[in-house]
Chain A
Amino acid sequence: MINAFFDRLPHPLPWYIAGPLIGSLVPLLLLAGNKSFGFSNNLRTVCAAVVPRGIAFFDYDWRRTGGWNLVFLAGTFSGAALAAAFAPAPLIHISQSTIADLQALGIDDFRGLAPIQIFSWSALLGARGFISIVVGGFLVGFGAAYAGGCTSGHAIAGLADRQPASLLAVCGFFAGGLAATYFLLPVLS
């Protein structure tokens, strides 16, 4: 039955369905317990719980302020696992121009959610894979902590609340993303 449900969904889920549903998480979390949608706080909670090391930034009652978010993270993991298990194996239909651009970067396998040529355990041993996965991940964690939020906290919740700080953050997100796309990716290929 779950199979039938996921099979009937259009792939990808159109933006005008996915977007509003994702956006609804902001008011729903407020109603659930006055919680602010912001996934990157989980990174801080993990540090506070596992390796606080006397650092002020991690010296707080993480169970009280971040416990709910860890549960949300567990839910995210489960929901993604469920959807991936029941959704047909994806072939992401990106635009022809993107395919051409990526081919110029040496990517020719477009199966799956992320290029296997870069995102696999064996690729981790090479420069491109290591930089994309480990360095990339590090920058995501460092940047989100410094900016006080990621796309969920700033681009969605923050902009929805008309916070100027979030607009600055989103400008930063795009500045960094564009620079990396146009200057860094070609170097890595």
Chain B
Amino acid sequence: MTRYFLLGTLFGALLIESEVISWFRIQEMFRFQAFHMFGIIGSAVIVAAAGVEVVRRLPLQDAEGSPLGPAPKSVGNGVRYLAGGSIFGVGWALTGACPGPLVALAAGGVPVMIAAFISAVAGTWVYGYLRPQLPH
């Protein structure tokens, strides 16, 4: 478990140092007025993609004997991704943060984000409650 704590520490420190969690940076991103955020997400995807390819080719297995790699997600009719994504996006612009950044902000200088995090948990809970009625 220590490894996950350490990787999380790296994540949290990176979020603060790169200013990814700044509401100001998110606004800059949604207004397309700087490259910074796009550079971060873009280079992260490229490195992640290369890394996943390398890991896939290694002769390694997990604890249950399965090959390493993420499981594919079925698209279905796509509604959940577009609808859910859009709802998330509105929240992202309002708070200037996604779930990880909410935690980092609460720890790193904007304690009121604890309220946003609790509210996010509530949002997930309401989703779970309404799930049988929502299109997927």
Contacts and interface: CB of A to CB of B under 8 A. Distances in A.
Interface string A152-181: 101111111111111011111111111111
Q: From DSSP, what is the main secondary structure of chain A's interface residues?
A: helix
Given A34-B62, A138-B122, A150 B44 contact: no
A58 B95 CA distance: 26
B70 A36 contact: yes
Nearest to B125: A47
A127 interface: no
A56 interface: yes
Given A18-B14, A92-B25, A172-B85, A30 B69 contact: yes
Contacts of B20: 18, 22
A185 to B, nearest CB: 7
Give the bracket for the number of chain B residues in contact with chain A.
35 or more
Contacts of B55: 27, 30-31
Contact of A80 (B16, B42, B126): B16
Most buried by B among A18, A34, A146: A146
A180 B94 contact: yes
B90 A43 contact: no
Contacts of B104: 76-77, 79-80
Contacts of B33: 94-95, 97-98, 101
A168 B68 CA distance: 25
Contact of B85 (A25, A83, A170): A170
Interface string A12-54: 1101111111111111111111111101101110110001010
Contacts of B10: 21, 25, 75, 79
A119 B95 CA distance: 9
Contacts of B3: 32-33
Interface of B: 1, 3-28, 30-31, 33-49, 51-52, 54-55, 60, 62-63, 66, 68-75, 78, 80-100, 102-113, 115-129, 131-132, 134
Interface of A: 6, 9, 11-13, 15-37, 39-40, 42-44, 46-47, 51, 53, 55-58, 67-69, 71-84, 87, 90, 92, 94-95, 97-98, 101-102, 110, 112-115, 118-121, 123-124, 131-148, 150-152, 154-166, 168-181, 184-185
Minimum-distance CB pairs A-B, first 7 = A172-B85, A75-B8, A176-B89, A143-B88, A141-B123, A79-B12, A27-B51
